[in-house]
Structures are given as structure tokens and as C-alpha cells.
Amino acid sequence: MHTAAPPTANRRRRNLIIAAIATLVVLVTYVITTTLTASAADTLISQGKPALSSSDENAGTPASAAFDGNTTGTRWSSAFSDPQWIRVDLGQTATISQVKLFWEAAYATAYQIQTSNDGNTWTNVYSTTTSTGGTQTLSVTGSGRYVRMNGTARATGYGYSLYEFQVFGSFPTNPTSGPCNTATNAAQGKTATASSIENAGTPASAAVDGNGGTRWSSAASDPQWLSVDLGSTQSICQVTINWEAAYGKDFQIQTSADGNTWATIKTVTGGTGGNQVLSGLSGSGRYIRLYGTARGTGYGYSAWEFIVNTGGTGPTTSSPSPTTSPTPTPTGPQLPGGGDLGSNVIVFDPSQSSATIQAKLDQVFTQQEQNQFGNERYQFLFKPGSYSGLNAQIGFYTSINGLGQNPQDVQIHGDITVDAGWMQGNATQNFWRSAENLSIYPVSGVDRWAVAQAAPFRRIDVHGGMTLASPNCGWASGGYIADSRISGNINPCSQQQWFTRDSTIGSWNGSVWNMVFSGVQGAPANSFPNPPYTTLPTSPVTQEKPYLYADASGYRVFVPSQRTNSSGATWINGQTPGTSLPLSQFYVAKPGVTAATLNQAVAQGLNLLFTPGVYHLGSTVNINRAGTVVLGLGYATIVADNGALPMAVGDVDGVKIASLLFDAGPTNSPALLQVGPNGAGGNHAGAPNLVSDVFLRVGGAGAAKVTNALVVNNNNTIIDHIWSWRADHGAGAGWTSNPADTGLIVNGQNVTAYGLFVEHFEKYNVIWNGNGGKTIFFQNELPYDPPSAAAWSHDGITGYAAYKVANTVTSHEAWGMGSYCVFTSDESIAAYHSYETPVNANVKFHNILTVSLGKGSITHVINDTGDAALPSSVTPHNVVSFP
């Protein structure tokens, strides 16, 4: 039985029906409108794509958050300054029809939407100076691989902040699929590149020349690759590899549209070589490569022919235009490898008279002795042989190297000297000079190397002893020896701290505050703090720096192999294990080169060799190819122009960055060197990235700004000797004229650092966010110039720690760390502590100390532990173990 509802209920029901109908109309209208809008704007093509920004406010607001599809919960936000930008890499050139911006409260009043094919040259497709924020839908007409919001005026005192940045458009149509054309080898005669070649007779091109009697063969190491540019995008259906006896056991076949981002279409494990046919493949790309991860023999990878069959009779499309950021596709004329090293590389031969050689050494030293912030750069190279009667005095921005494969191949019967006469015996400013890969027979039996930071002494065989200070034992502060043998005694004299790694020494006599030895045969026993020796018998995981040498075929670069639990020099019991690369596999860079050219070189498969000089880069050099070597000569210096991040490494294996000085410019850069993209997650334990003798400078040579000098995102990276320095003297040195937050941020897991010299940054000098990290030796001075305790405080704490392990870290270990203060602007400042860490049994500190150098104080050593370092004593305050 149905009972009539009361009138009130009827009215309510009628209202609900009307409301439901209205809602339905709205929904239908919304669906129609949305469909029409989406149709008009093509499809969303930016979501989840790689993103980059001029700066991030903090780790919780990265550029990637603006492309994650979350329009209300996550966001990108920038530093509080103008201009700032955020860009997305679409992966290939697209036609752009619409952009949507979902602004947070901190929006832009003036900005441009820009497109670019190369990440360097930008075209405006939209511009406004009257933006009101909110959600903005912009109809645009343009094309490009990269799309950027370039903000020029903020609406608030905060930075720029976007919940989401959506780009709508379309990509070129891919070729249609058809029967697999096994009659034609699409790779034959095409441009081929490789990670390495065994010798000049086995080039990459030999694997695609159609001749079964010629072959490509690689260096005897993993990984290695062979890449072919098919000239246009193709559908791949079959690959045949005609292996020589040295075959690949484990490898992948990969394709790419741009030679940068690779997709695996076939994985082979346990291969047995022979004539290997891989059929039934499904993938497309302009580039195809064989990527070997495990060799079947002790030799390299070797293929008589690499045959590619395509399936598609429909039209093909042109590949995207070459790009410079990330690494471009190598179209047009190929850049040459090898070449002249330039006039500032000075090569000596044993046939030259000692007087001629000495005159040139003296001429350069006279110019460079006091040239602390000049632009001149020099590299001395000694060909194998014996040289007598020389005293090579080494000044600023000067490197002296032997050209033998081993140190004994070049014998200097004389001295290689660093003194400090120009500062009346004070060696605390003897920066930016080096010696490498030769033998020294000192005239008096003792060689003098009175240096401070950024002055490595590597692969040296000293037939005698060493002293590390001036004859009067004047002030000296910091230094580094690695992969060397010193047969006699080393006397550090006045050196406040020193780090020696993987070497062999006769003896060591003397200490001040912090002497650290890792894998050093002949080192004194661990006895910190009295005397303050920290000694580790072995180094956990190491790889020595690549170096230039010469043989009968010409210049080559040797890349030493990775070692674990190592001690002693690599060359004492025979040749250093590793891989030799001819100079023809390097693009030889000279000042004036552009980032676009350097990126093209990397895309071609070339490594980079920077000759001495100063390089101004206004956009990023992207090292996105596994195994790339980037090596500098004579303190080659890379300057960040226009707020650029001058160099970035991809989430790839085995990249080596060595012997470079990075300089911040007057426009703020997010970083000077970034190893791995934000969120990098690859496991690189088998082939770590290496950062070796890399020095980063903010100010001194002029006003400069950077947010974080060095950022390491890649897992398993080895950091081997850096000096990250916010200048305390020179031009542009002051709290507001060379601002910089942090000298080193480590986000990667299982990163190992040796010889960290990080000084004077305005916030935390080092922030360690990744688990499994290890640091052996740390030298730090807190900033000299905080204007007051109030201006240099956070969260109720005076000052920022020199070395902070993030609260989320559950495993970390550090040995031999010293942090000092001298507060020249306000001597009353009492920094709360120098080391800040979560209290966890697996987060361990060994042999750490603080010192006041006479102005200001440090209340505790680590967290709330350790005595105060007061200015009256100028003595170390030690903590042997924490927790």
C-alpha cells in the first residue's frame, strides 16, 4: 500500500529532482565543454615528463611537482627573487596549442610562456604583465621540445609557486607497421658511435659497413655500447649481431628518439655469442644501440656486424631537432675528436736543455705567484724521460703532470716546489695548483709542498721526504695526497689538518689538529686525539682520477678501475688497472665554446677535455651518456652565466667529472654541478659516478650567487677531493654580495666521500639526506661574516651546523672531521654546534673536533655533546665517538 507523502516532503522531493536535473545539465555541459576544450587543445603531453627549474624553495617543492598531475596537493615553488623559471622536457618536438597554469597564492604578475627546440634559444608564445593568478588557460600557437614559464615579476614577497603546469599539444605521427623487412640492413653505412674502441683499427663504423671481415671492439670493461643513427624514426622488428669471439653475455637492445632517453626493447642474459638473431622485436626510434652489461670473455665487446631490420612500409617522420639540454641528437656535420691542446698547454721534452725548460717554468711562475683571482691558466706536461737541474715552482692555476703511463716514466731530478714567500711564509692562501703522475728526486732529499685547499698531489713517486709548510713553519691549512709513494718522512710542520689516501709512505712525523689517513701503508697508528691521528687501514670503495698520458699513438686518457677495501698506490706493483681512451674519443674544448656544442659532442659519443682557460656557459651541459669522462687541464674554469646550472649528470653509470673549477656568476644559479636529476634512483654500485678534484667557488673573483654549490642525487657516487668555497676574501666577498646557502647536498644513497673541504656557506655547509653515506675527512670553517647572532639563527638555534645529517637518515658514518669558527663581523656569536645528527646506533661519528680561531665560539661539538670552543684557548675540543 502506498501512503502519500506530506506536502513538505513532496516539495523537498521536487526540489531534489530539479537540483538533480540541474546538476546533470551542468555535468553534461562540463563534459561537453571539457571534451571540446581538450579536443581544441589536443592532449595533455607534459604530465610526468622531466622538469627543471631555476631554483626550488626547498626539497619539498621540486620542479617535478608541477607535472605530477596533482593540481591541489603538490607544488613547485622558487626562491624569493626575480627572474625565475620552470620548464618541462617533452622528449621530442611537439606542436603546442594550450597551456594551463594552476597558481598557488604566490603567483606571477608578469611572465612569458616560451618554447625551445634546444633548451637554449627561447621563443615567446604568450606574454603578460597583468596576471592575477588562479587557474589560467592560455591558447597558444607554437612548437618545441621544451616549454617554459619564465617569471619576471612576483605578485607577493614569496617566490613563484605552481600547483600544476599543463601543456597540451601533439607529436608527429609515428611510422606505420608492416611486414619485417629482413632483406635490408637499415644500419648499414649509417653513423655509428661507441662508448669506447679497443684501438684505431676497430672503430664503431666497422660494425655497420657491411663487411664481415671488419669489426668494432670496445675497451675491456663494463658497461659498453654501440649506437647507430638510422637517420629517421623507424619501426624495429629484428636485430642480428654477428659476434667475434669476444661476445656479450648480458646486453640490451635499446631505442631512442633523441639519443638521450633510451627504451629497452630486448634483454638478453646468458648469451653465447655467434651469429645471434633477435626477432619479434617491437619498438621504434631514430637511434638504436647495443648496450652491453656483462662480457662473455676477459676482452671487450666485439661485433663483426650489427644488422637492423625494420618493419614498416608507411611514411617515416623526421626526428626532433638537435637539442642542447638534455644532450642533443647529433645531426649535420659531426664534431671532430682529438686535436690541438692550445697554447696554454706547455709540453717539455727530455731533448730540451734544462736552461730552456727552467726559463719557461720561471716565466709562468712569476706571472702566477700572486695571481689569485686572475684568468690565466697553465698546464705543464713532461714527456717520458729524465730531467735534471730543475726547480718547478708552482703558482696559482698551474698544473704540472708527467705524460708517462706510470709515475716512474717521468723523472724530475730536482724539485717541484710550492712555498709562500709572497705571503711571508703564510701558506693558508696557496690554493688552485696541482702535481700529478711523475717521480721527484729532491735536491736536498726533501720536497716542499706548502699548500692549502684545492692543491692535490696525486700519483707522485717522491724519492725522499716531504715538508708541507714554508721553511719558517708559517701558518698552513689543509691539503691532500693520493695514489702516491713518499719513501722518506713527511713533516706536516704547521699544517692544521691534512688528508692522505691510498698511498705508501716511509713515515709521518707531526700533527696540529686533524691528520687523517685512509688506506695508507706506513701511516701512524690511530691515536686521536693525542696525537690527533685518524687512521683507517683501507678505503671502502675508490676510483682514482682519470689522467692524460701519451704513447706512440699520441695523447690518451687513462681511466683507472674501481677498487674496494683498498690500500697503497695503484701503480707500485705494476701498471694501474683500467681502461685507456684515445684522444680521438674526446672533444677538445677551448674557451668560447658553447653549451650547445659540448652537448652535441656528448651526444655523438665523445668525452670532453677542457683545455686551460675560462669558459662562460649560459645553459646546461648535460652528461647523460653512461661512462662519459669530463676532464680539465690547468684548472679549466667553468663560469655560470645568466643563472645557469652549468653542468648536470644524468641517472647513468660511470660518469667521471675531474679537475675542473666551477665559478658562480652574479646571477643566482640553483647549483654549479648537479650529479643526477632530482629523484634519481638508479643503482650504480657496479659503475659509480666519480667527482674528483672538483672545486666550486662563490665569489673572490667577483660578485657571485648560488643556492647550493654541489648537489649529488645519484646513488653510489664517489666524491674524491672537493673544495666548495664561499669566498671570505677577494672581490665580491660579503654577506649580501656572495650569498650561498649550502656547499654540498647529498641526496643519493650509499655515497662515499673522501676529502671534503667545505667552507663559509651561510646555512648548513653540508646536508646529507641519503642513507648509507660515508665521509672520511672533513675540513670546515663556518662563515666569517654573519652580521649578528639574530641574523644567523633558525628554529631557536644560533648558527647552522657545518655538517648536518638529516633526521630521516638511519645509516651514516664519518671519520676525522674538523670545524672552526672566526666570526669577524660579530665576535659575540656563539654557534650552537658544528655537527647535527639524529641519534641512532647506525649513524656514527669518529674523531671529530671544533676550534675557535680567536673570534666567536662554538657551544658544543655535536648536538648537545662536547665542550665549548672558546676564543681564549684556540685549541681543539674533541669527541672521539658519537653516539
Cα 878 to Cα 605, 798, 848: the distances in Å are 50, 21, 6
CB atoms closer than 10 angstroms to residue 808: 9
User: How confident is the model over 395-452, as pLDDT tens digits?
Assistant: 999 999 999 999 999 999 999 999 999 999 999 999 999 999 999 999 999 999 999 9
What average pLDDT score do residues 801-818 get? Answer: 98
Which among 467, 466, 418, 415 has a CA at the least distance from the CA of 443?
415
- Judged against a pLDDT cut of 50, whether residue 489 lies above it is answered with yes
What average pLDDT score do residues 581-608 get? Answer: 96
Which among 327, 291, 276 has a CA at the least distance from the CA of 218?
291
Cα 622 to Cα 456, 588, 626, 648: the distances in Å are 27, 17, 12, 5
Lowest mean pLDDT among 183-192, 393-402, 628-637, 700-709: 183-192
- Judged against a pLDDT cut of 80, whether residue 344 lies above it is answered with yes
**Catalytic entry in 164, 244, 762, 781:** 781
Alpha-carbon distance of 494 to 228, in angstroms, equals: 58
What pLDDT, on a 0 to 100 scale, did the predictor assign at position 279?
83
Using 50, 70 and 90 to split pLDDT, how confident is the model at 59? Answer: low
Of residues 214 and 434, more confidence is placed in: 434
What pLDDT, on a 0 to 100 scale, did the predictor assign at position 298?
87
Alpha-carbon distance of 877 to 869, in angstroms, equals: 6
Does the annotation mark 781 as catalytic?
Answer: yes
What pLDDT, on a 0 to 100 scale, did the predictor assign at position 388?
97
The 3-class secondary structure across 323-387, one letter per residue, is CCCCCCCCCCCCCCCECCCCCCEEEECCCCCHHHHHHHHHHHHHHHCCCCCCCCCEEEEECCEEE
Q: For strand 578-582 and strand 84-103, is the pairing parallel, antiparallel, or unpaired?
A: unpaired
What average pLDDT score do residues 487-515 get? Answer: 97
What pLDDT, on a 0 to 100 scale, did the predictor assign at position 117?
81
Cell reading at 29: 555541459
What pLDDT, on a 0 to 100 scale, did the predictor assign at position 34?
35
Alpha-carbon distance of 850 to 754, in angstroms, equals: 19
- Judged against a pLDDT cut of 60, whether residue 323 lies above it is answered with no
φ, ψ (nearest 5 deg) of residue 190: -85, 165
What pLDDT, on a 0 to 100 scale, did the predictor assign at position 6?
35
Q: What is the pTM of this model?
A: 0.67
What average pLDDT score do residues 104-130 get? Answer: 90
Alpha-carbon distance of 33 to 22, in angstroms, equals: 16
How many C-alpha atoms does 332 have within 13 Å on its Cβ side? Answer: 9
E-assigned strand segments in 384-496: 385-393, 398-402, 410-417, 433-440, 446-448, 457-462, 465-467, 480-482, 485-491
Across the chain, mean pLDDT equals 90
Contact at 8 Å (CB) between 604 and 334? yes
Cα 153 to Cα 83, 108, 149, 512: the distances in Å are 7, 6, 12, 52
Q: For strand 180-181 and strand 446-448, is the pairing parallel, antiparallel, or unpaired?
A: unpaired
